[in-house]
């Protein structure tokens, strides 16, 4: 099937993945869908959230007829990949925290996982750590407030340095530990959007690792037909989001259309 790459997230975090995909496949067409009506996902019950993710993704697939679906959200990936793959005939690519590449990069063997509370507490995260970073000290930092800051920034509001420092205090403390933390896993797709501020506020130079490049490689492995598509770079939201128009445009997407879900 020839068509665009469809990127799905609960909010604007998937735009960091869209950037990585555009760098890897500059000739490809893209669509973006975010379930902003249900943001943040971390506060929802798993059963109702799984059904919601499937419903939104199916509606988005119907709207843009993609060649591949990228679930650019850790929470959605852990909950609904199996159901999405069963419901769709196109490849579905998920997102996991970049624990493995971070372990390769760290020389101090002290890594920080900067993620949402939901991602930090899920068993799959511990499985990744056990599989790829069992010899490392892992500092888990729940940074749900960073999601809010990223959403605000894409909506046209500059991040607050005071709020960012309050959110990131455990991270800066870990950088001063013995051995010092030297590598940070950006375990939420919202977080790479904030990287310029993270780097500016950090008291020391750190390795910052996200999943964008790995997702782009995987998309190329599962689908080669998207480069043949000729489509507008459309975007979809589940609630009116005029404030996101400028941010979406910065990442190459048309103003959002309201996505209609089947009852």
In sequence order, the β-bridge partners of residue 110 are 137
CA 85: distance to chain centroid? 19
Quick check: is 57 catalytic?
A: no
CA 4: distance to chain centroid? 19
Nearest residue to 259 (alpha-carbon basis) of 23, 47, 53, 30: 53
Distance from C-alpha of 63 to C-alpha of 66, rounded to nearest angstrom: 9
Catalytic residue from among 31, 57, 64, 188: 188
Catalytic residue from among 31, 34, 73, 136: 73
- Residue that has been written with the tokens 């598509």 in this structure: 229
Phi, psi of 236 (to 5 degrees): -135, 145
Nearest residue to 53 (alpha-carbon basis) of 29, 68, 69: 69
Say how many residues make up the chain: 263
Quick check: is 23 catalytic?
A: no
Distance from C-alpha of 104 to C-alpha of 110, rounded to nearest angstrom: 11
**DSSP, res 259:** P
Q: Which residues are catalytic?
A: 73, 188
């Amino acid at each position: 099937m020839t068509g665009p790459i469809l990127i799905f997230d609960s909010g604007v975090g998937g735009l960091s993945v869209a950037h990585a995909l555009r760098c890897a496949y500059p000739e490809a067409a893209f669509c973006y869908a975010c379930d902003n009506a249900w943001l943040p996902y971390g506060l929802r019950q798993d059963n109702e959230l799984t059904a919601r993710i499937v419903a939104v993704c199916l509606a988005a697939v119907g709207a843009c007829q993609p060649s591949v679906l990228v679930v650019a959200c850790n929470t959605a990936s852990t909950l609904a990949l199996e159901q999405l793959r069963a419901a769709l005939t196109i490849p579905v690519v998920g997102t996991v925290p970049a624990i493995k590449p971070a372990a390769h990069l760290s020389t101090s063997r002290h890594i920080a996982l900067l993620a949402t509370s939901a991602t930090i507490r899920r068993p799959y995260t511990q499985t990744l750590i056990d599989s790829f970073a069992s010899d490392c000290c892992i500092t888990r930092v729940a940074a749900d407030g960073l999601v809010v800051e990223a959403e605000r920034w894409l909506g046209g509001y500059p991040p607050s340095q005071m709020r960012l420092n309050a959110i990131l205090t455990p991270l800066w403390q870990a950088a001063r530990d013995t051995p010092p933390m030297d590598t940070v896993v950006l375990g939420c797709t919202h977080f790479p959007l904030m990287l310029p501020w993270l780097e500016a506020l950090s008291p020391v130079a750190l390795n910052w690792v996200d999943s964008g490049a790995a997702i782009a490689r995987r998309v190329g492995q599962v689908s080669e037909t998207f480069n043949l598509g000729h489509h507008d770079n459309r975007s979809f939201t589940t609630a009116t989001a005029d404030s996101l128009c400028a941010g979406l445009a910065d990442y190459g997407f048309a103003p959002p259309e309201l996505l209609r879900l089947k009852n």
